[in-house]
């Protein structure tokens, strides 16, 4: 297994209420970007279902410079109806994200939790990850 020291949270940059699946995002990444697989290890759907993406044993493709030792989680949403960045997480997504992060922190002690926006000039994931998941 890879050494993991970061858990990085993303959003799919889709409008609130528009559900997309791991399969959809995999297609965007493989056919649209030419990648070998989906970039994220997990996707959290609107109803809180956690879907597996890229296997944990494989390096992700979600955060330049941090992929080798991180796990990428993407929640579906992140845009308001007008297309502006917005925390659109449903109550079910919030619960699922908390549970997933807690489980990953247990499996990978010492791993810190970050938002994609800490490493890139993006709004993603459209909420303050460090405030929600302090070390």
Active site residue 119: no
Active site residue 124: yes
Catalytic residue among 10, 41, 62, 114: 10
Three-state SS string over 26-70 comes to: HHHHHHHHCCCCCCCCEEECCCCCEEECCCCCCCCCCCCCCCCCE
Catalytic residue among 63, 116, 119, 126: 116
Active site residue 41: no
Catalytic residue among 63, 74, 124, 126: 124
Active site residue 62: no
Active site residue 66: no
Catalytic residue among 29, 40, 66, 114: 40
C-alpha distances out from residue 7 to 16, 60, 116, Å: 24, 11, 10
Q: In this structure, what token pair is assigned to residue 53?
A: 């993406």
Using alpha carbons, select from 114, 103, 122, 102 the residue that is nearest to residue 7.
Answer: 114
Active site residues: 10, 40, 116, 122, 124
């Amino acid at each position: 297994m890879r050494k993991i020291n970061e858990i990085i949270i993303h959003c799919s940059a889709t409008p609130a209420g528009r559900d997309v699946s791991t399969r959809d995002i995999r297609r965007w990444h493989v056919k649209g970007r030419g990648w070998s697989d989906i970039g994220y290890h997990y996707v959290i759907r609107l109803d809180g279902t956690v879907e597996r993406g890229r296997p944990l044993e494989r390096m992700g493709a979600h955060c330049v410079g941090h992929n080798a030792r991180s796990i990428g989680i993407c929640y579906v949403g992140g845009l308001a109806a007008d297309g502006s960045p917005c925390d659109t997480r449903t109550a079910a997504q919030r619960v699922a994200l908390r549970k997933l992060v807690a489980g990953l922190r247990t499996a990978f002690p010492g791993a810190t939790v970050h938002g994609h926006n800490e490493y890139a000039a993006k709004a993603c994931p459209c909420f303050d990850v460090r405030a929600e998941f302090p070390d």
